[in-house]
Amino acid sequence: MDLEKIKETTDFIKNLLGDFTPEIGIILGTGLGSLVNDIEVEHTVSYADIPNFPVSTVEFHSGKLFFGKLSGKKVMCMQGRFHYYEGYTMQQVVFPVRVMKLLGIQTLLVSNAAGGLNPDYQLSDLMVINDHISFLMPGNPLIGKNLDELGDRFPDMCDPYDMDLVKKALAIADQQGIKVQAGVYISVPGPQLETRAEYRLLRMLGADAVGMSTVPEIITARQMGMKCFGISVITDMGIPEALEKVDINKILKAAYAAEPKMTQLIRELIRDL
């Protein structure tokens, strides 16, 4: 990836923001975009108007950046992310995360829609991600010439998800009576959902939920030393013996049902940061 392009985009956004300096980055997943309604918005910009930014092709993602205050903290929020299955390179998928770092953002919060692999989970459950499995994705944003200015060639992945944030989120959920799971997310390229045999394999590999995003962004953010937090909404169940047909409308319906509690949890977590 070209550092000059990342700097150019960062400068464009800095220009737009004036003296507003975001401290927390947020990436909202499929069907989970309404957290932006809680932001006291100071600036917005469409991806299409940002130099070097990929443009979102999934029509239910609006493709916009929001800057403003959420729970008293200055945030930069992406409504709509870039997925590998849309045809972007891994470098394009993580481009906004690189820009976040150059803007001075130290903490990244990410949400996504995911299929449940753990038989104890239920539709519309929340799962705080406590670890991930990356290597079923056919590529990786760190492959290629390393940008040494931004991070290590061989970044450590002991704690991809910040354990203090995980603990805080679980404590908040407990206090507020929000049901929440904690588990391992495994990323796949998509866009097709899994076969029964694939869901069985993913469970055997040790994952609790499967999805088509998040891991590239987290790997990149960790390489640059950002603190990360991820949360999945279980939008369909990948239990081989009880597999039901799913389509995007069912996934969106389950995401919308879980959105208020997810939004509440993220708002409270940000207040606590």
C-alpha pair distances (Å), 251 with each of 9, 62, 161, 219, 236? 33, 17, 25, 26, 6
Find the shortest distance in angstroms from Cβ 22 to ligand HPA. 28
- Closer residue to ligand HPA in complex, CB, 251/269: 251
How many other β-carbons are positioned within 10 Å of the β-carbon of residue 187? 24
- Closer residue to ligand HPA in complex, CB, 79/235: 235
Find the shortest distance in angstroms from Cβ 253 to ligand HPA. 12
- Closer residue to ligand HPA in complex, CB, 139/190: 190
- State both tokens at 38: 């809680």
- Closer residue to ligand HPA in complex, CB, 114/180: 114
Q: β-strands 24-28, 73-79: how paired? A: parallel
Find the shortest distance in angstroms from Cβ 18 to ligand HPA. 38
Find the shortest distance in angstroms from Cβ 129 to ligand HPA. 14
User: Could you list the residues that contact ligand HPA (CB under 6 A)?
Assistant: 113-115, 188, 190, 193-194, 210-212, 235-236, 238, 251
